[in-house]
A and B are shown apart, each in its own frame.
Chain A
Amino acid sequence: MTKIKLTTPVTDAVLEKLRIGQKVLLNGVLYTGRDAAHKKLVELLDKGQELPVDLKGQIIYYVGPSPAKPGQIIGSAGPTTSGRMDLYAPKLIALGLKGMVGKGKRSPEVIKAIKQYKAVYFAAVGGAAALISKCIKKCEVVAYPELGPEAIHRLEVEDFPVIVVNDTLGGDLYEEGTKIYATR
């Protein structure tokens, strides 16, 4: 299957063409964030304050990398379980966040927000952390350094391989893919 190249920031027009099951190579900037960072971001939003990073048109990668060895840009950096961010994701999507990369199922609320605001959820291969780290060309902390591996990093990526799981039509590859291969 041909892989679609996508460069951030992304537009609605590009995302609306994506369908579940399609393979995508991400290029450009990804912001990292997991539980603790999401909690802080949403607390700021609830107080009506500005976020330390502008997420409009951007993609968040749910990851907590292992420490970089000397000479490495980043340590092993595979996706973490996205479900833990479900509580926070709809608020960020409403704000203009366009994509999320992680692994595992999303809640109905997140899928609804994805459809309503035209965003996309991508799966990266869980555990393929050493392989994925090869696609990361630059890494810097842009917010919450005190969170260590959970800080928000700005990554520059080249041909980062992901698969479309939830598209702007409300499709869900976890549901559909399992149905195709179930034999009972």
Chain B
Amino acid sequence: MKSINVANISQAVAKLCMDANYFLGQDMIDALQGAYDQEISLTGKEIIQQIIDNAGIAKSEEVPMCQDTGFAVVFVELGQDVHIEGGSLEDAINEGVRRGYTDGYLRKSIVGHPLERVNTGDNTPAVVHLKLVPGDKLKIIVAPKGGGSENMSAIKMLKPAEGVEGVKQFVLDTVMAAGPNPCPPIVVGVGIGGTFEKAALLSKESLLRAVGTPNPRPEIAELEKELFDSINNLGVGPQGLGGRITALAVHVNIYPAHIASLPVAVNINCHASRHKEVIL
């Protein structure tokens, strides 16, 4: 049994909040460079260049790459041989978010009540997804999610008979309806199967993969490629102003489904596809 003190968890989460907002992953930078080379719209090319330059400024000056520093979505994989000491895990995570968003000059975008809408002032609470896994490690991933792209995400309960064609159509319809709003080029996360809430979680988890890494299942990797090509044939382009590059990647995660159900969730991420992780 390994013991981890909540103070260490808070400290780690605070740093992850800042790092995720300041430093775009190299996988995303590489994907944007590739997109720059492939884009044929001159305006589109210029936009992608501005996005790359923006990531450079954010990194060198340690400022947020986007003013919307997001809802702090925290994925935790807790080893079952870990003992958390000194307090509750969830409180420790929220303390980390509070500190990270305040000390890091990140925008506080969370309102404490969805209808009354008064800002909590410290970007808490986080949205925490906890998974219990074998071992004695604690893995924490912080994935700040901006409102602009999250608002364009969608879920649909298809009929099993609609099959893969129904899935493809729903993904394309969602991306087309989103148009310029989620700040393309986007990363498209798709969850297929499970239940209503499982599909949504699958779609968001798929965004944690290094961008463009295919699903290990060949038939799903094939579907990802097909969706990627179809999305980039829509013409939406960088910032929705027209072009070849609408998406940098499509990631699909699947899960077994009920005989009666075929849930599909599409979680869209903007070009500031941010996530940073640590293992304690």
Contact = CB atoms under 8 A, between A and B. Distances in A.
A127 B241 contact: no
B235 A127 contact: no
B50 A125 contact: yes
Contacts of A69: 63, 105
Interface in B206-261: 233-237, 239-244
A174 B63 CA distance: 30
B50 A128 contact: yes
Interface in A54-99: 63-69, 72, 75-78, 80-81, 83
Interface in A108-161: 123, 125-131, 133-134, 148-149, 161
B233 A81 contact: no
Given A125-B50, A148-B119, A130 B64 contact: yes
B270 interface: yes
A174 B180 contact: yes
B106 interface: yes
Contacts of B242: 173, 176-181
Contacts of B151: 81
B65 interface: yes
A165 interface: yes
Interface centre among A105, A130, A134 (most CB of B within 10 A): A130
Interface in A159-184: 161, 163, 165, 173-174, 176-184
Contact of B63 (A1, A76, A181, A182): A76
B67 interface: yes
A161 B51 CA distance: 13
Residue of A23, A69, A131 contacting most chain B CB atoms (<10 Å): A131
Interface in B21-79: 40-43, 47, 50-51, 53-54, 57-58, 61, 63-69
Nearest to B270: A127
User: Chain B contact residues: over half helix, strand or loop, or mixed?
Assistant: loop
B67 A76 contact: yes
Nearest to A132: B54
B178 to A, nearest CB: 9
B90 to A, nearest CB: 25
A33 interface: no
A178 B236 contact: yes
B271 interface: yes
A1 B45 CA distance: 12
B64 A127 contact: no
Contacts of A180: 235, 242
29 contacts: A66-B105, A66-B107, A76-B64, A80-B68, A81-B151, A103-B148, A103-B183, A104-B148, A104-B240, A105-B180, A123-B239, A126-B180, A127-B54, A127-B66, A128-B51, A129-B54, A130-B54, A130-B58, A130-B61, A130-B65, A131-B50, A131-B54, A173-B241, A178-B179, A178-B235, A182-B233, A182-B234, A182-B235, A183-B235
Given A67-B106, A127-B65, A178-B234, 9 more contacts: A64-B107, A66-B64, A67-B105, A103-B183, A104-B181, A126-B148, A126-B183, A127-B271, A128-B53
